Amino acid sequence: MFDTLFPLNVLVYLLSESILGLLLLIAFGVVTKILLQWDFESFTPEQFKREQYAYLINTITLFIFVMKFLLLLYFAYTIDALSILVPGAMCAAGVITANGYGEPLLALKLTILFLLILWFYLNHYDLLSKNHQWFQEKSLLFMVIFLFVVLEMWLDFTYFTHIDTNQAVSCCSALFGQLEGANPLPFGLDTTTLLILFYLLFGLSILTLLLEKPLLYIPSNLLFVYLAYYSMVYFFGTYIYQLPTHKCPFCMLQSEYYYIGYLLWFSLFIGSFMGINRAIIILWLDPSHSLPSRNWVMGLLSFFVGVASLYPLIYYWRNGVWL
Amino acid sequence: MIRIQHLNKSYTQGESQSTILKDINLTIAKGETIILKGVSGSGKTTLLSLIAGLEKPTSGSLLIDQEPIHKLPDLFASKLRADKIGMIFQHFNLMEHLSVAENVMIPLIPRRWHLKKINQQVTQALQKANISHKANTLASRLSGGEKQRTAIARALVSAPEIILCDEPTANLDKENSLRLIAMLKTLHQEGKTIVIATHDPLFEQLSFPHRIIPIENGEIVDV
Amino acid sequence: MFNRAFWHFLTLQLFKERQRHIATLLLSTLLVFLLSSILFISASLRHTLTQTLKAQPDFVISRTQGGSPTATPLAWADELAEIYGISKITPRVYGRYFFKEKRESFLIMGVDFLEEQTHQGLEQLLNESDLKDLLSGKKMLIGEGVKRFLSANFYDNEYKFLTPKGKFVTVTIAQTLPAKSNLLSNDMIIMPLALAQEILGYDQEEVSDITFNVPNPDEWQNISDKIASLHYDLRITNKREVAKSYEHLYNFKGGLFLVLFIILLATFLLILYQRYSMVYSSEKRQIGLLRAMGWSITEVLQLKFAETLLITLLAFLLGVVMGYLYVFILDAPLLSAIFLGAENLERHLTFTPVVELSTLSTIFLIYALPSITAVIIPVWRVAITDAKEAML
């Protein structure tokens, strides 16, 4: 179990997560207390105290949101750096799949960020309302986030303590390649159809965004993200690496590719998170206040599609052929 | 403009409970000047801080322009206070390490205004309070009268409709007190609503229309 | 809200309370300085070692006897040549020569000057030396540390080596190796293969080990297995394993250091928490005044946190810059001794400036995250001061 012997980065990461977890635990205690007795209409000094405590929660959650985001980047970098120790791993892809906890951990992290963005907007609306209208919803969402974070922490520790440095892992070519001839693409698509759908769904997402059709927007954006992932790994990525057999979502995070991976994944996920949250807010909350900016969502998603598309285009322009 | 109904304020310290204000009912029209007359401990200062929204009542309602300031969440209460209320304190309450202009600027900082606009507003307020010539002087170096004028400028800088004064002449000599009263007269003529909590006899002979409300032991005494 | 007026006001506030803030700033800066110095040294050493390792040959085989390395038969090189996929087979002769009087020792490297070297660093060194001169007679190239030692013992031009067979061999100093390759050649003596064999007591058909490269990384496991099965007493190691073992060493040292540092950090955080929890009545009045002037709790929180963050950031910047200067300009006196441990020769080590985003973000996370966490609650408590404090 301790074969990894915990490089400094991993220790710092785990320590940081623990501190945040502790802070969140304190906040959770406070939220529970004030939620149970919250009564906006009452005049008692206790209620006023509760409203003051609510500000503590807001501050803590904002801080945690910023830190979780930074820690995600740090986590990505740490995983990548660990590839030296794990036999067979050439980049983060191999390390993440070193045991069964890696991928769920990553997925959970993204989910938590998504929920935190939602909480952030809920909080914004709550403060702007004259009677703390969203206080209950905000607090319940906070509790959900707390539970997820606890799970995340458990996964953090379990994942890192179960990386066996003596066990070879598959690197991305085995994980994403077509070794056995089976088609790794979803729905049995081929690359061309995948790309057509990719661009179509992008267009649909933008359209439903502009036409203010949130109910259509959510599934189209979700599907877009799903297809974007595959498109990145099986098409755009190969142009970033300029190698038709190099299929990997993580290698593009490395310095030799100018860290473009961070930009691409960031714009895809944050853009989608904001967009989906926007749709949720329009559908189920009172949208009388400022919504997550539509321009930002469009901008981020377009940036993602634009930059990703540039790679194959530039390659073709330079070499006259596709890969 | 300001409507107070069945306002009560009491403090609970462990087992003992002290009632500061009992069933206050008061309506102040726009542009009126009210003198809350009473000795120290009569509750007039507390009433003033309740009107300003600095404290919350134990029961009752307090409406400023129909807005229930006692019930508003902090963000709204603060905005109301920032927009509509200017306060002048007994002990001036200036930040000693800042200059006059910087002190006057404080209420405007949270607004997302351009520095130029802020400076304009500050200059106007300084002129009105007759303290422009000391704009860059450190507050610690001012005389009592000058400090009070700075406080007035600060209270006026956000162009509020309501001015609340808590024993404004308590630390002033007679000359400066008269100057202050003259300034209040000007403000009254501009249509501002003024509420003054004081037991200074000078305020019993104001030359402009006003209403005296005596307060004793937390209750308004009917005259 | 963060307009110019806000920053102006903030600066004035900080300046007023400067005595309180300066103490915090100094302490924080010291902490960051210590942290960044250690991390800079570590990153620099790691970088240098990685670079050094890159220049090393991929594989090394040697013969073992009873588990310990012993003289390797030169014949094994021929066996290697028969395996497909191997290049640059280079037999090596090297060993420690002990100067009994002073109880010092140096590394003697025997080299076939006419062959291409697998070790890139060595290759570079030799390219810069005068080969003709080296090959005429018994000559050697020595490192700076060796030069210093020999001169101190009055051996200016040559030295009489004592071979295990009891014979004396006089070798002349042809050249002193340049200081820039310090890590590599500081206590090293490079001489012709045959000469080294003689001085170190090897037979003509014996060498210390044999190195080679395998250009195709996928073949490493294959070839390694093949060669290992050639002889029962053959031991084979490769570059990646060495890298891994260095990593483990670093991790161990790193972990140790972190544990010690955490104790220091915890103390610091406690002090921080205490200091921010001390709310002077003057501060309460000021906050009360701000609230009376129409500032909302959010705005007061923004002010107070801006104060804290500014100091945190300033300490971070100052500490990192100081750390950089200390490690990369002054070569980290004192600390470097702790890091490098006891060496048999005085090693004047220059640290290659290596500043990676990873190092900076690690410093930031270890310092800033706990610091801000420690002060969140105290700062909030101050910010919610009742506005009626202003009335008192």
Query: In this predicted model, what pLDDT tens digit does every residue of B116-148 receive, in sequence order?
Result: 888 899 999 999 888 888 888 888 888 888 898
Banded pLDDT at C349 (limits 50, 70, 90): low
* A168-177, B172-181, C306-315, C370-379: segment of lowest average pLDDT: A168-177
Residue of A nearest to C376 (CA): A60
B55: closest chain C residue by CA: C388
The pLDDT of residue C330 is 83
Q: Which band of pLDDT confidence, cut at 50, 70 and 90, is reported for residue C392?
A: low
C-chain residues within 8 Å CB-CB of B166?
391
Question: CB of A46 within 8 Å of any CB in chain B?
Answer: no
CA distance A94 to chain B (A): 50
For residue C69, what pLDDT is reported? Answer: 83
Mark yes or no for CB contact C12/B108 under 8 Å: no
**How is residue B153 annotated by DSSP?**
H
CA A233 remoteness from chain centre? 17
The predicted structure's pLDDT at residue A56: 92
Spell out which residues of chain A touch residue B76, defining contact as CB-CB under 8 Å: 130
* Predicted local distance difference test score (pLDDT) of residue C346: 47
Banded pLDDT at C345 (limits 50, 70, 90): very low
Band (pLDDT 50/70/90 cuts) for residue B162 is very high
How near does any CA of chain A get to the CA of C213, in Å? 19
Q: What is the pLDDT of residues C178-195, one digit of tens each?
A: 665 555 567 788 888 888
pLDDT bin (cut points 50, 70, 90) of residue C116 is: low
Contact A15 C383 (CB under 8 A): no
Domain ranges, ordered by start, for chain A: 8-160, 175-319
| Chain A residue with Cα closest to C217 | A88
**Mean pLDDT, chain C, as a whole number?**
81
CB contact, 8 Å: B124 with chain A?
Answer: no
Question: For residue B15, is pLDDT > 70?
Answer: yes
* The dihedral sign for the CA sequence C356, C362, C365, C366: negative
The string over C371-391, giving b where at least 16 C-beta atoms fall within 10 Å of a residue's C-beta and e elsewhere, is bbbbbbbbbbebbbbbbbbbb
Contact residues on chain C for B108, CB-CB shorter than 8 A: 5
pLDDT of residue B203 exceeding 60, the answer is: yes
Q: How many residues does chain A have?
A: 323
Least confident range from C4-8, C48-52, C347-351: namely C347-351
Question: What average pLDDT is seen over chain A?
Answer: 84
More confident residue, C1 or C191: C191
Spatial distance between the Cα atoms of B220 and A279, rounded to a whole number of angstroms: 55
Mean pLDDT over C362-369 rounds to 92
Using a CB–CB cutoff of 8 Å, tell me whether A166 touches chain B: no
Res C268 pLDDT > 70: yes
Cα–Cα distance for residue pair A74/A58, rounded to 1 Å:
24
Does C365 contact A16 at a Cβ distance shorter than 8 Å? yes
Q: What is the pTM of this model?
A: 0.81
Share of chain A above pLDDT 90, in %: 26
What's the confidence (pLDDT) of residue A17?
94
Q: Which of A5, A12, A55 sits opposite C297 (nearest CB)?
A: A55
**According to the model, what pLDDT value does residue B150 have?**
92
Question: What integer best gives the mean pLDDT of chain B?
Answer: 87
Q: Write down the pLDDT at residue B208.
A: 83
The Cα–Cα gap between C189 and C328 comes to 29
- Residue-wise pLDDT for C12-70, tens only, equals 888 888 888 888 899 999 999 988 988 888 888 778 777 777 777 888 888 888 888 88
- Say yes or no to pLDDT of A1 above 60: no
pLDDT score of C184 = 57
pLDDT reading at B176 higher than 90:
no
Average pLDDT over every residue of C323-329? 89
Could A48 and B72 be called an inter-chain contact, meaning their C-beta atoms sit closer than 8 Å?
no
Return d(Cα A53, Cα A35) in angstroms, integer. 11
- Split at pLDDT 50, 70, 90, the class of A131 is confident
- Say yes or no: A188 contacts chain B, CB-CB below 8 A: no
Instruction: Look at residue A2 in the predicted model and tell me its pLDDT.
Output: 44
The whole-number pLDDT of residue A233 equals 83
Which pLDDT value is given to residue A147? 95
Chain A nearest-CA residue for C42: A8
Instruction: Taking residues A26-39, report their average pLDDT.
Output: 89
What is the SS3 assignment for chain C? Answer: CCCHHHHHHHHHHHHHCHHHHHHHHHHHHHHHHHHHHHHHHHHHHHHHHHHHHHCCCCEEEEEEECCEEECEECHHHHHHHCCCCCEEEEEEEEEEEEECCCCEEEEEEEECCCCCCCCHHHHHHHHCCCHHHHHCCCEEEECHHHHHHHHHCCCCCEEEEECCCCCEEEEEEEEECCHHHHHHHCCEEEEEHHHHHHHHCCCCCEECEEEEECCCHHHHHHHHHHHHCCCCCEEEEEHHHHHHHHHHHHHHHHHHHHHHHHHHHHHHHHHHHHHHHCCCHHHHHHHHHHHHCCCCHHHHHHHHHHHHHHHHHHHHHHHHHHHHHHHHHCCCCCHHHHHHCCCCCCCCCCCCCCCCHHHHHHHHHHHHHHHHHHHHHHHHHHHCCCHHHHHC
Beta-sheet pairing, C72-73 with C206-207:
antiparallel
Q: Report residue C350 as tokens.
A: 């220059």
Residue A177 has pLDDT above 70, yes or no: no
All partners of chain B with 3 or more CB pairs under 8 angstroms: A, C
User: Touching A: which chains, 3+ CB pairs < 8 A?
Assistant: B, C
Contact, C378 vs C305, CB < 8 A?
A: no
User: What would the pLDDT profile of C215-265 be if each residue is shown by its tens digit?
Assistant: 877 778 888 888 888 888 888 888 878 777 777 776 677 677 777 888 888
- What ipTM does this complex have? 0.89
pLDDT at C390: 60
The more confidently predicted of residues A323 and B11 is B11
Q: Reduce the DSSP state of residue B196 to 3 states and report it.
A: strand
Between C332 and A211, residue with greater pLDDT: A211
Taking residues B61-78, report their average pLDDT.
85
Q: Is the pLDDT of residue A218 over 60?
A: yes
Q: Which residues in chain B are contacts of A43 at CB distance < 8 A?
A: 56-59, 70
pLDDT at A63: 94
